[in-house]
Protein backbone atom coordinates (compact mmCIF):
# COMPACT_ATOMS: atom_id res chain seq x y z
CA UNK A 1 0.00 0.00 0.00
CA UNK A 2 2.91 2.30 0.78
CA UNK A 3 4.37 1.62 -2.70
CA UNK A 4 1.01 2.40 -4.36
CA UNK A 5 0.73 5.68 -2.33
CA UNK A 6 4.29 6.67 -3.36
CA UNK A 7 3.48 5.92 -7.00
CA UNK A 8 0.32 8.03 -6.79
CA UNK A 9 2.30 10.85 -5.17
CA UNK A 10 4.83 10.73 -7.99
CA UNK A 11 2.11 10.89 -10.62
CA UNK A 12 0.37 13.78 -8.83
CA UNK A 13 3.65 15.63 -8.47
CA UNK A 14 4.43 15.27 -12.18
CA UNK A 15 0.93 16.49 -13.09
CA UNK A 16 1.32 19.54 -10.81
CA UNK A 17 4.73 20.32 -12.31
CA UNK A 18 3.28 20.05 -15.86
CA UNK A 19 0.38 22.39 -14.97
CA UNK A 20 2.80 24.81 -13.31
CA UNK A 21 4.99 24.83 -16.42
CA UNK A 22 1.99 25.55 -18.66
CA UNK A 23 0.81 28.41 -16.40
CA UNK A 24 4.32 29.91 -16.35
CA UNK A 25 4.46 29.87 -20.17
CA UNK A 26 1.03 31.50 -20.30
CA UNK A 27 2.11 34.20 -17.79
CA UNK A 28 5.27 34.92 -19.80
CA UNK A 29 3.24 35.25 -23.01
CA UNK A 30 0.79 37.63 -21.28
CA UNK A 31 3.68 39.70 -19.92
CA UNK A 32 5.16 39.82 -23.42
CA UNK A 33 1.86 41.14 -24.74
CA UNK A 34 1.81 43.89 -22.09
CA UNK A 35 5.33 45.03 -22.85
CA UNK A 36 5.02 44.89 -26.63
CA UNK A 37 1.56 46.44 -26.74
CA UNK A 38 1.19 48.85 -23.76
CA UNK A 39 -2.00 50.40 -25.13
CA UNK A 40 -3.89 47.41 -23.72
CA UNK A 41 -3.53 49.04 -20.27
CA UNK A 42 -5.91 51.96 -20.73
CA UNK A 43 -5.92 53.10 -17.10
CA UNK A 44 -3.71 53.10 -14.01
CA UNK A 45 -3.03 49.80 -12.29
CA UNK A 46 -4.08 51.34 -8.98
CA UNK A 47 -6.67 54.05 -8.32
CA UNK A 48 -5.13 57.33 -7.22
CA UNK A 49 -5.63 58.00 -3.52
CA UNK A 50 -5.89 61.63 -2.32
CA UNK A 51 -3.61 61.81 0.70
CA UNK A 52 -4.46 65.47 1.40
CA UNK A 53 -1.75 68.10 1.67
CA UNK A 54 1.87 67.14 1.55
CA UNK A 55 4.33 67.45 4.40
CA UNK A 56 5.04 71.09 3.57
CA UNK A 57 3.17 73.43 5.92
CA UNK A 58 1.11 76.21 4.31
CA UNK A 59 2.28 79.81 4.19
CA UNK A 60 -0.07 82.68 5.00
CA UNK A 61 0.53 86.28 4.02
CA UNK A 62 -0.52 88.58 6.87
CA UNK A 63 -0.66 92.36 7.19
CA UNK A 64 -0.93 94.62 10.21
CA UNK A 65 -2.34 98.06 9.51
CA UNK A 66 -0.68 101.07 11.13
CA UNK A 67 -3.00 104.03 10.60
CA UNK A 68 -5.10 106.55 12.48
CA UNK A 69 -8.82 106.80 13.06
CA UNK A 70 -10.75 109.74 11.63
CA UNK A 71 -11.95 110.80 15.04
CA UNK A 72 -15.68 111.37 15.65
CA UNK A 73 -16.37 110.32 12.02
CA UNK A 74 -17.15 106.62 11.86
CA UNK A 75 -18.38 106.57 8.22
CA UNK A 76 -15.13 108.22 7.07
CA UNK A 77 -13.11 105.80 9.19
CA UNK A 78 -14.87 102.86 7.53
CA UNK A 79 -14.08 104.35 4.12
CA UNK A 80 -10.43 104.58 5.13
CA UNK A 81 -10.49 101.00 6.42
CA UNK A 82 -11.78 99.79 3.06
CA UNK A 83 -9.03 101.63 1.16
CA UNK A 84 -6.39 100.07 3.40
CA UNK A 85 -7.99 96.63 3.14
CA UNK A 86 -8.09 96.86 -0.65
CA UNK A 87 -4.41 97.83 -0.75
CA UNK A 88 -3.42 94.98 1.54
CA UNK A 89 -5.42 92.52 -0.58
CA UNK A 90 -3.67 93.77 -3.71
CA UNK A 91 -0.39 92.64 -2.14
CA UNK A 92 -1.79 89.16 -1.62
CA UNK A 93 -2.65 89.43 2.06
CA UNK A 94 -4.94 86.72 3.40
CA UNK A 95 -5.21 88.11 6.94
CA UNK A 96 -5.38 91.80 7.87
CA UNK A 97 -5.26 93.09 11.46
CA UNK A 98 -6.25 96.66 12.42
CA UNK A 99 -5.30 98.54 15.61
CA UNK A 100 -7.16 98.80 18.88
CA UNK A 101 -10.26 101.02 18.66
CA UNK A 102 -9.69 101.85 14.99
CA UNK A 103 -13.44 102.22 14.44
CA UNK A 104 -14.74 104.57 17.13
CA UNK A 105 -11.33 105.89 18.09
CA UNK A 106 -8.87 105.64 20.95
CA UNK A 107 -9.48 108.78 23.10
CA UNK A 108 -5.81 109.45 23.74
CA UNK A 109 -5.13 112.37 26.07
CA UNK A 110 -8.77 112.96 26.97
CA UNK A 111 -9.75 113.15 30.65
CA UNK A 112 -13.51 113.43 29.98
CA UNK A 113 -13.70 116.18 32.61
CA UNK A 114 -13.08 113.76 35.44
CA UNK A 115 -11.68 114.18 38.90
CA UNK A 116 -12.53 112.19 42.00
CA UNK A 117 -15.99 113.22 43.14
CA UNK A 118 -16.63 115.50 40.16
CA UNK A 119 -17.64 115.45 36.49
CA UNK A 120 -17.95 118.44 34.21
CA UNK A 121 -20.62 119.30 31.65
CA UNK A 122 -17.94 119.41 28.95
CA UNK A 123 -16.77 115.92 29.92
CA UNK A 124 -20.30 114.57 29.68
CA UNK A 125 -20.63 116.07 26.20
CA UNK A 126 -17.32 114.48 25.18
CA UNK A 127 -18.69 111.12 26.27
CA UNK A 128 -21.92 111.71 24.33
CA UNK A 129 -19.96 112.30 21.12
CA UNK A 130 -17.70 109.34 21.79
CA UNK A 131 -20.75 107.15 22.43
CA UNK A 132 -22.26 108.37 19.16
CA UNK A 133 -19.12 107.34 17.22
CA UNK A 134 -19.23 103.78 18.62
CA UNK A 135 -20.97 100.93 16.79
CA UNK A 136 -23.60 98.33 17.68
CA UNK A 137 -22.60 94.66 17.41
CA UNK A 138 -24.38 93.37 15.41
CA UNK A 139 -25.27 96.43 13.39
CA UNK A 140 -24.90 98.14 10.01
CA UNK A 141 -21.20 98.91 10.50
CA UNK A 142 -20.53 95.24 11.28
CA UNK A 143 -22.41 94.29 8.12
CA UNK A 144 -20.25 96.67 6.11
CA UNK A 145 -17.04 95.27 7.59
CA UNK A 146 -18.22 91.75 6.75
CA UNK A 147 -18.93 92.82 3.20
CA UNK A 148 -15.42 94.29 2.92
CA UNK A 149 -13.84 91.04 4.07
CA UNK A 150 -15.88 89.09 1.53
CA UNK A 151 -15.23 91.57 -1.27
CA UNK A 152 -11.45 91.42 -0.88
CA UNK A 153 -11.35 87.75 0.18
CA UNK A 154 -9.39 88.35 3.37
CA UNK A 155 -9.75 87.34 6.99
CA UNK A 156 -10.24 90.55 8.94
CA UNK A 157 -9.50 91.39 12.58
CA UNK A 158 -10.80 94.85 13.45
CA UNK A 159 -10.54 96.92 16.63
CA UNK A 160 -13.75 98.82 17.41
CA UNK A 161 -15.54 100.64 20.18
CA UNK A 162 -18.70 98.64 20.76
CA UNK A 163 -21.87 100.28 22.03
CA UNK A 164 -24.15 98.08 24.13
CA UNK A 165 -26.92 100.37 25.28
CA UNK A 166 -25.08 103.18 27.06
CA UNK A 167 -22.02 101.16 28.02
CA UNK A 168 -19.01 101.07 25.71
CA UNK A 169 -16.55 98.21 25.25
CA UNK A 170 -13.15 98.07 23.61
CA UNK A 171 -13.73 95.14 21.26
CA UNK A 172 -12.11 93.15 18.47
CA UNK A 173 -14.32 91.76 15.68
CA UNK A 174 -13.42 88.74 13.54
CA UNK A 175 -14.52 88.09 9.94
CA UNK A 176 -13.70 85.32 7.50
CA UNK A 177 -12.77 85.70 3.85
CA UNK A 178 -16.30 84.74 2.74
CA UNK A 179 -17.75 87.81 4.42
CA UNK A 180 -19.08 86.14 7.55
CA UNK A 181 -18.93 87.74 10.98
CA UNK A 182 -17.35 85.14 13.27
CA UNK A 183 -17.58 86.78 16.69
CA UNK A 184 -15.89 89.20 19.06
CA UNK A 185 -13.53 89.65 21.99
CA UNK A 186 -14.27 92.32 24.57
CA UNK A 187 -11.29 93.68 26.48
CA UNK A 188 -11.61 92.13 29.92
CA UNK A 189 -9.48 94.72 31.75
CA UNK A 190 -9.33 98.32 30.57
CA UNK A 191 -6.24 100.20 31.76
CA UNK A 192 -6.23 103.19 34.13
CA UNK A 193 -8.72 105.90 33.03
CA UNK A 194 -10.06 103.59 30.30
CA UNK A 195 -12.06 101.95 33.10
CA UNK A 196 -14.18 105.09 33.42
CA UNK A 197 -15.37 105.01 29.80
CA UNK A 198 -15.24 101.29 28.89
CA UNK A 199 -17.00 98.34 30.43
CA UNK A 200 -15.31 95.03 31.31
CA UNK A 201 -15.58 91.98 29.09
CA UNK A 202 -16.26 88.55 30.60
CA UNK A 203 -15.06 85.02 29.93
CA UNK A 204 -17.65 84.39 27.24
CA UNK A 205 -15.75 86.47 24.68
CA UNK A 206 -12.27 84.95 24.68
CA UNK A 207 -12.61 83.12 21.38
CA UNK A 208 -10.10 81.35 19.17
CA UNK A 209 -11.52 80.78 15.69
CA UNK A 210 -10.39 77.92 13.47
CA UNK A 211 -10.03 79.27 9.94
CA UNK A 212 -8.37 78.13 6.69
CA UNK A 213 -5.38 80.35 7.53
CA UNK A 214 -4.96 79.09 11.09
CA UNK A 215 -6.49 79.42 14.54
CA UNK A 216 -6.93 83.12 15.25
CA UNK A 217 -7.51 84.92 18.56
CA UNK A 218 -6.84 88.35 20.03
CA UNK A 219 -5.99 90.16 23.24
CA UNK A 220 -6.02 93.94 23.41
CA UNK A 221 -3.18 96.16 24.61
CA UNK A 222 -2.22 95.62 28.26
CA UNK A 223 -4.44 92.59 28.77
CA UNK A 224 -1.64 90.91 26.82
CA UNK A 225 0.35 91.24 30.03
CA UNK A 226 -2.17 89.05 31.93
CA UNK A 227 -0.60 85.55 32.15
CA UNK A 228 -3.87 83.73 32.88
CA UNK A 229 -5.65 85.27 29.88
CA UNK A 230 -2.77 84.27 27.64
CA UNK A 231 -2.86 80.74 29.07
CA UNK A 232 -6.57 80.47 28.28
CA UNK A 233 -5.85 81.40 24.68
CA UNK A 234 -2.98 78.93 24.44
CA UNK A 235 -5.30 76.21 25.76
CA UNK A 236 -7.70 77.01 22.92
CA UNK A 237 -4.90 76.40 20.45
CA UNK A 238 -4.24 79.92 19.17
CA UNK A 239 -1.77 79.90 16.28
CA UNK A 240 -2.03 83.49 15.06
CA UNK A 241 -2.19 85.69 18.14
CA UNK A 242 -3.43 89.19 17.29
CA UNK A 243 -2.50 92.01 19.65
CA UNK A 244 -4.15 95.31 18.67
CA UNK A 245 -2.71 97.98 20.94
CA UNK A 246 -2.30 101.65 21.78
CA UNK A 247 1.17 101.16 23.34
CA UNK A 248 3.99 102.49 21.15
CA UNK A 249 6.77 102.29 23.73
CA UNK A 250 9.91 100.30 22.97
CA UNK A 251 9.20 97.96 25.90
CA UNK A 252 6.05 96.75 24.14
CA UNK A 253 8.26 94.83 21.73
CA UNK A 254 9.61 92.75 24.61
CA UNK A 255 6.07 91.69 25.54
CA UNK A 256 5.29 90.69 21.96
CA UNK A 257 8.47 88.64 21.63
CA UNK A 258 7.81 86.93 24.95
CA UNK A 259 4.26 85.95 23.93
CA UNK A 260 5.48 84.50 20.63
CA UNK A 261 8.04 82.36 22.46
CA UNK A 262 5.74 81.44 25.32
CA UNK A 263 2.79 80.49 23.15
CA UNK A 264 4.69 79.05 20.21
CA UNK A 265 2.53 81.23 17.97
CA UNK A 266 2.77 84.07 15.50
CA UNK A 267 2.13 87.47 17.10
CA UNK A 268 0.65 90.29 15.02
CA UNK A 269 0.55 93.61 16.85
CA UNK A 270 -1.17 96.56 15.17
CA UNK A 271 -1.04 100.10 16.53
CA UNK A 272 -2.18 103.46 15.24
CA UNK A 273 0.23 106.12 14.05
CA UNK A 274 -1.30 109.46 15.02
CA UNK A 275 -0.37 113.12 14.98
CA UNK A 276 -2.13 115.80 16.95
CA UNK A 277 -3.94 116.93 13.79
CA UNK A 278 -5.62 113.51 13.53
CA UNK A 279 -7.77 114.51 16.51
CA UNK A 280 -10.22 117.44 16.65
CA UNK A 281 -8.55 120.76 17.49
CA UNK A 282 -8.85 122.50 20.87
CA UNK A 283 -11.02 123.49 22.60
CA UNK A 284 -13.27 120.72 21.17
CA UNK A 285 -10.66 118.10 22.05
CA UNK A 286 -7.85 118.68 24.54
CA UNK A 287 -4.83 116.52 25.35
CA UNK A 288 -4.87 116.95 29.11
CA UNK A 289 -1.57 118.15 30.53
CA UNK A 290 0.29 118.25 27.21
CA UNK A 291 -1.85 120.33 24.84
CA UNK A 292 0.29 123.45 25.18
CA UNK A 293 3.38 121.50 24.10
CA UNK A 294 1.85 120.04 20.93
CA UNK A 295 1.79 121.28 17.36
CA UNK A 296 -0.53 119.88 14.68
CA UNK A 297 2.33 117.68 13.42
CA UNK A 298 3.36 116.41 16.84
CA UNK A 299 3.34 112.60 16.97
CA UNK A 300 1.03 111.46 19.77
CA UNK A 301 1.26 107.73 18.97
CA UNK A 302 4.32 106.45 17.13
CA UNK A 303 3.05 103.02 16.09
CA UNK A 304 5.57 100.22 16.51
CA UNK A 305 3.41 97.63 14.73
CA UNK A 306 5.24 94.32 14.38
CA UNK A 307 4.96 90.68 13.27
CA UNK A 308 6.93 88.06 15.23
CA UNK A 309 7.42 84.33 14.57
CA UNK A 310 6.98 81.49 17.11
CA UNK A 311 10.76 81.36 17.44
CA UNK A 312 10.89 85.02 18.47
CA UNK A 313 12.25 86.28 15.15
CA UNK A 314 10.94 89.66 13.99
CA UNK A 315 9.44 89.08 10.53
CA UNK A 316 8.31 92.67 9.86
CA UNK A 317 8.55 95.96 11.74
CA UNK A 318 8.51 97.50 14.20
CA UNK A 319 7.62 100.61 12.24
CA UNK A 320 7.80 104.07 13.85
CA UNK A 321 7.94 106.13 10.66
CA UNK A 322 4.27 106.76 9.85
CA UNK A 323 1.16 105.13 8.52
CA UNK A 324 2.03 101.84 6.85
CA UNK A 325 0.99 98.33 5.90
CA UNK A 326 3.42 95.90 7.53
CA UNK A 327 3.33 92.44 5.96
CA UNK A 328 5.05 89.07 6.31
CA UNK A 329 4.66 85.51 5.06
CA UNK A 330 3.88 83.16 7.95
CA UNK A 331 5.28 79.63 7.58
CA UNK A 332 2.80 77.73 9.74
CA UNK A 333 5.33 74.92 10.08
CA UNK A 334 7.20 77.19 12.48
CA UNK A 335 4.51 76.49 15.08
CA UNK A 336 5.29 72.78 15.33
CA UNK A 337 9.04 73.51 15.35
CA UNK A 338 8.58 75.89 18.27
CA UNK A 339 6.22 73.58 20.17
CA UNK A 340 8.85 70.83 19.96
CA UNK A 341 10.91 72.94 22.34
CA UNK A 342 8.15 74.35 24.53
CA UNK A 343 4.40 73.64 24.62
CA UNK A 344 3.08 75.67 27.54
CA UNK A 345 -0.24 73.80 27.81
CA UNK A 346 1.10 70.48 26.54
CA UNK A 347 4.31 68.62 27.29
CA UNK A 348 5.71 71.57 29.29
CA UNK A 349 2.70 71.83 31.61
CA UNK A 350 2.29 70.40 35.12
CA UNK A 351 -1.49 70.28 35.69
CA UNK A 352 -1.12 68.25 38.88
CA UNK A 353 0.77 71.25 40.33
CA UNK A 354 -0.57 74.29 38.44
CA UNK A 355 -3.94 74.56 36.70
CA UNK A 356 -6.39 77.20 35.50
CA UNK A 357 -10.19 77.38 35.59
CA UNK A 358 -11.81 79.81 33.13
CA UNK A 359 -15.38 80.96 33.82
CA UNK A 360 -16.45 81.29 30.22
CA UNK A 361 -20.18 81.88 30.66
CA UNK A 362 -21.80 85.32 30.15
CA UNK A 363 -22.18 87.38 33.31
CA UNK A 364 -25.45 89.22 32.92
CA UNK A 365 -26.38 91.83 35.54
CA UNK A 366 -30.07 90.96 35.28
CA UNK A 367 -31.72 87.59 34.65
CA UNK A 368 -35.49 87.30 34.25
CA UNK A 369 -36.77 84.03 35.70
CA UNK A 370 -40.03 84.29 33.76
CA UNK A 371 -38.12 83.60 30.56
CA UNK A 372 -36.76 80.30 31.84
CA UNK A 373 -40.20 79.41 33.31
CA UNK A 374 -41.83 79.80 29.88
CA UNK A 375 -39.22 77.51 28.34
CA UNK A 376 -39.89 74.89 31.03
CA UNK A 377 -43.66 75.11 30.44
CA UNK A 378 -43.21 74.39 26.72
CA UNK A 379 -41.32 71.21 27.47
CA UNK A 380 -44.13 69.74 29.61
- When pLDDT is averaged across residues 31-47 and rounded to a whole number, the result is 41
The set of catalytic residues is 100
User: Would you state the CATH architecture of domain 59-341?
Assistant: 4-Layer Sandwich (3.60)
* Selection from 362, 48, 54, 95 nearest residue 205 by Cα: 362
Q: How far is CA 144 from the centre of its chain?
A: 19
* pLDDT of 354 higher than 80: yes
Q: What is the mean pLDDT of the chain?
A: 88
* pLDDT of 177 higher than 50: yes
* pLDDT of 338 higher than 90: yes
Q: How far is CA 7 from the centre of its chain?
A: 83
Where along the chain do its domains lie?
59-341
- When pLDDT is averaged across residues 346-368 and rounded to a whole number, the result is 93
Burial of 162 per CB tally in 10 Å (0-12, 13-18, 19+)? buried
> Which is higher by pLDDT, 237 or 40?
237
CA distance 371 to 90: 50
> Which is higher by pLDDT, 246 or 370?
246
- When pLDDT is averaged across residues 142-149 and rounded to a whole number, the result is 98
Pairing of strands 95-97, 59-66: parallel
DSSP string, 346-363: TTT--TTT-------S--
Half-sphere exposure of 70 (CA within 13 A, CB side): 9
Model confidence band, residue 56 (pLDDT cutoffs 50, 70, 90): confident
Classify the C-alpha dihedral 132-134-139-140 as positive or negative: positive
Q: Are 155 and 216 in contact (CB under 8 A)?
A: yes
- When pLDDT is averaged across residues 172-189 and rounded to a whole number, the result is 98
Q: Are 171 and 160 in contact (CB under 8 A)?
A: yes
* pLDDT of 274 higher than 50: yes
CA distance 4 to 10: 10
pLDDT of residue 55: 67
CA distance 250 to 38: 70
pLDDT of residue 345: 94
Q: Which residues pair with 18 in a beta bridge?
A: none
Phi, psi of 173 (to 5 degrees): -105, 145
* Selection from 311, 329, 310, 335 nearest residue 94 by Cα: 329
- The Cα diameter of the chain in Å comes to 126
pLDDT of residue 374: 56
Model confidence band, residue 57 (pLDDT cutoffs 50, 70, 90): confident
Q: What percent of the chain is modeled with pLDDT above 90? A: 81
Amino acid sequence: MLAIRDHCDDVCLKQQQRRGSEESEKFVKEMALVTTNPTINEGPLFAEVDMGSDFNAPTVRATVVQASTIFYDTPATLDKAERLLAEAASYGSQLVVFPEAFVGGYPRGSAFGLSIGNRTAKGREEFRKYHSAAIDVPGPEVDRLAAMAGKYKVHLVMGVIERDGYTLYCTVLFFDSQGHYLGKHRKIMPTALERVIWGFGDGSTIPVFETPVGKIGAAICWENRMPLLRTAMYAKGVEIYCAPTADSRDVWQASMTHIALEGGCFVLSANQFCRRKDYPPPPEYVFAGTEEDLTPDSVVCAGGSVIISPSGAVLAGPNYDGEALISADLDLGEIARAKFDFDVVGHYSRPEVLSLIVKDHPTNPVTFTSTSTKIEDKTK
